């Protein structure tokens, strides 16, 4: 697609890759480029640098900031907002609902991520993003909340007297650190926001979690090799890739969905000399003269932190190389990690070139989603060929033992509801044209009579958790279990209103059969329904599985378009 004139949003725009992508984008003259980062000063600094580097660019370059895993209203400039949210009982519980509750409009529209994509945040003026480049290291953000440490802390609290522990807070903090629910909600909001915004392209810059190394990676976060936290990061990264793979197979979302996954250390941002900082704070200088050495035989001297050493004036200063997300490395560390056989290195500019080339329609060979499309096994000719044999044997057994409709094992209950309703129409009328003859009220009465008179039929429906709503809309036939809360979600609905809905569906199907069996005889149509596939416009038999499959493809928009 063309970048010129488009609105582009770069998430993680302050980082090494984010800035490189912005630089690669600007020569293509997008109408607007939004640089989003966690902290306000980061976004503003990145925007100013781009304006200085591209003084003649016609592109409007804007900053945006905040934690996209939280609500827009919770963002703060003075501290990272997640800590404040978790410290407050009210917002902590609201966060749990946002992560673990059903996605609704309140959760969606309150999300900072949603507002950035749709352009409703701050000064974005309601102009949505046409192109979203996600340079955030989502796997790090999620996995480094470290559910293991949180769980260990909770375990130590169990040994304390009950009155000394705020159990609500302890349990809620543990629940808020669960990896998969956070990632799933993040992707749900991402996809819903891009659908509403009409986003045309989504490019994720992902990670392997290990810089491309295996489980033998020597760079770790503890005594384990590799650490559970590092493996969790890789697991979250892989899960996000598969969710992105599914996003690329979902209609009505962005047309272009891709992921570039660097598998080496990304370097570098700056080389220099000065104070060495970790998490934004410089290392204080300490000394321990030999005459003040402590004994290793005393366990008290071996604690991780304590009142040891003599604090010196100033802070640690040295030659460093700034590797972006990974922080400052000494010359020795950089030489070690980039040595042949270690992580080695890839530059941010190479990643950015691949991102932009893929957006423009180029084939870099580095799109992980395209690679998965090529490597996964989809439907086969053999399976389709043998499907007919399987269906024939099923029909033979049905003729001997009675028709088999639904067991409510496949799920959700709505599918069983639709299959049973289609089956009742088949039992009552046999063919599509016959089912269209009665009024909805007459059809409702006919199907209710079937249910009342045939105990075996009733039993097959209600025994799997699907209740039957009678035609008056007030009486319900049910067993000990109901799998759904409403008629639309999973009750066989015999009301005239629902029968009118079925008749409208059957009219659409009948029109489709007639269209596909007359005139154009090419491969243009999928010919899903057997009558169309067999060129038999007079065969209007209600095939219940094929009918509901057609309905899922057309009315429910639940079809696959990649094979």
φ, ψ for residue 516 (rounded to 5)? -80, -10
In a domain, 391, yes or no: no
Residue where a domain stops, chosen among 233, 264, 295: 264
Task: Tell me how far apart the alpha carbons of residues 32 and 60 are, in angstroms, rounded to a whole number.
Answer: 5
- Shared-domain flag, residues 230 and 330: no
Structure tokens at 360: 């423009």
- Shared-domain flag, residues 460 and 482: yes
In a domain, 293, yes or no: yes
Instruction: Give the pLDDT of residue 382.
Output: 95
Domains of the chain: total: 3
- Contacts made by residues 435-440, CB under 8 angstroms, sequence distance 24+: 435/502, 435/503, 435/506, 435/542, 436/503, 436/506, 436/507, 436/510, 439/496, 440/496, 440/497, 440/499, 440/500, 440/503
Residue where a domain stops, chosen among 306, 322, 342: 342
- Shared-domain flag, residues 235 and 301: no
- Contacts made by residues 408-411, CB under 8 angstroms, sequence distance 24+: 408/464, 408/465, 408/466, 408/483
Task: Tell me how far apart the alpha carbons of residues 65 and 481 are, in angstroms, rounded to a whole number.
Answer: 48
pLDDT tens digit sequence for 456-496: 999 999 999 999 999 999 999 999 999 999 999 999 999 99
Task: Tell me how far apart the alpha carbons of residues 258 and 239 are, in angstroms, rounded to a whole number.
Answer: 15
- Shared-domain flag, residues 246 and 284: no
Task: Tell me how far apart the alpha carbons of residues 405 and 64 are, in angstroms, rounded to a whole number.
Answer: 53
CATH number, domain containing residue 205: 3.40.50.720
- Shared-domain flag, residues 72 and 98: yes
In a domain, 469, yes or no: yes
In a domain, 464, yes or no: yes
pTM of the model as a whole: 0.90
pLDDT tens digit sequence for 77-126: 878 899 999 999 999 999 999 999 999 999 999 999 999 999 999 999 99
pLDDT at 129 over 70: yes
pLDDT at 207 over 70: yes
- Shared-domain flag, residues 190 and 285: no
- Shared-domain flag, residues 135 and 228: yes
pLDDT tens digit sequence for 295-315: 999 999 988 888 998 889 999
- Shared-domain flag, residues 62 and 187: yes
Residues in contact with 142: Cβ distance below 8 Å, sequence separation at least 6, in sequence order: 179, 182, 183, 186, 236
Mean pLDDT of the 416-433 span: 97
In a domain, 387, yes or no: no
Does residue 221 or residue 415 have the better pLDDT?
A: 415
Burial of 532 (0-12, 13-18, 19+ CB in 10 A): buried
- Shared-domain flag, residues 101 and 199: yes
In a domain, 560, yes or no: no
Between helices 440-453 and 413-429, what is the axis angle to 10°? Answer: 100
Residue where a domain stops, chosen among 264, 296, 328: 264
In a domain, 310, yes or no: yes
In a domain, 353, yes or no: no
Range of the domain at 433: 398-554
- Shared-domain flag, residues 278 and 216: no
* Distance (Å) of CA 136 to CA 239, 473, 533: 15, 51, 48
Are 367 and 260 a contacting pair, CB within 8 Å? yes
% of the chain beyond a pLDDT of 70: 99
């Amino acid at each position: 697609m063309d970048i010129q004139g488009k609105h582009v949003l770069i998430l993680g725009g302050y980082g090494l890759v984010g800035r490189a992508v912005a630089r690669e984008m600007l020569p293509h003259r997008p109408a607007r480029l939004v640089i989003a980062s966690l902290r306000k000063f980061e976004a503003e600094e990145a925007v100013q640098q781009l304006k200085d580097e591209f003084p003649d660019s016609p592109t409007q370059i804007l900053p945006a900031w905040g934690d996209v895993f939280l609500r827009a209203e919770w963002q703060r400039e003075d501290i990272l907002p997640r800590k404040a949210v978790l410290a407050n009982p009210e917002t902590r519980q609201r966060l749990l609902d946002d992560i673990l509750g059903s996605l609704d409009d309140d959760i969606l529209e309150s999300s900072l991520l949603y507002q950035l994509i749709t352009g409703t945040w701050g000064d974005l003026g309601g102009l949505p993003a046409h192109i979203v480049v996600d340079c955030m290291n989502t796997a790090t953000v999620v996995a480094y909340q470290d559910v293991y440490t949180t769980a260990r802390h909770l375990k130590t609290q169990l040994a304390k007297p009950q009155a000394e522990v705020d159990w609500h807070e302890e349990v809620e903090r543990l629940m808020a650190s669960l990896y998969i629910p956070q990632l799933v909600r993040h992707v749900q909001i991402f996809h819903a926001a891009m659908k509403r915004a009409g986003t045309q392209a989504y490019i994720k810059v992902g990670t392997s979690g290990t810089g491309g190394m295996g489980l033998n990676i020597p760079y770790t976060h503890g005594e384990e090799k590799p650490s559970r936290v590092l493996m969790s990061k890789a697991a979250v990264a892989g899960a996000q890739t598969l969710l992105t793979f599914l996003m690329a197979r979902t209609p009505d979302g962005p047309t272009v969905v891709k992921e570039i996954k660097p598998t080496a250390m990304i370097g570098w941002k700056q080389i220099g000399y000065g104070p060495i900082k970790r998490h934004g704070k410089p290392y204080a200088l300490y000394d321990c003269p030999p005459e003040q050495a402590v004994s290793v035989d005393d366990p008290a001297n071996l604690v991780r932190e304590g009142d040891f050493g003599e604090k010196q004036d100033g802070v640690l200063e040295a030659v460093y190389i700034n590797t972006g997300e990974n922080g400052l490395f000494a010359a020795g560390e950089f030489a070690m990690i980039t040595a042949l056989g270690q992580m080695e290195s890839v530059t941010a500019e190479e990643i950015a070139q691949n991102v932009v080339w893929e957006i423009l329609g180029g084939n870099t060979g580095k799109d992980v989603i395209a690679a998965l499309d090529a490597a996964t096994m989809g439907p086969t000719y053999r399976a389709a060929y043998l499907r007919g044999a399987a269906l024939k044997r099923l029909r033979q057994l049905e003729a001997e033992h009675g028709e088999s409709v639904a067991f409510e094992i496949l799920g959700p209950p709505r599918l069983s509801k639709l299959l049973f309703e289609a089956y009742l129409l088949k039992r009552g009328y046999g063919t599509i044209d016959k089912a269209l003859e009665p009024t909805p009220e007459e059809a409702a009465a006919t199907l209710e009579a079937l249910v009342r008179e045939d105990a075996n039929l009733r039993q097959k429906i209600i025994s799997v958790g699907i209740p039957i709503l009678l035609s008056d809309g007030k009486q319900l036939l049910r067993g000990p279990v109901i799998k759904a809360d409403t008629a639309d979600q999973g009750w066989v609905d015999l009301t005239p209103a629902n029968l009118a809905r079925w008749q409208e569906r059957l009219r659409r199907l009948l029109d489709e059969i007639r269209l596909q069996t007359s005139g154009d005889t090419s491969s243009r149509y999928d010919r899903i329904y057997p009558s169309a596939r067999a060129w038999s416009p007079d065969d209007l038999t209600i095939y219940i599985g094929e009918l509901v499959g057609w309905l899922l493809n057309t009315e429910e928009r639940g079809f696959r378009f990649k094979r």
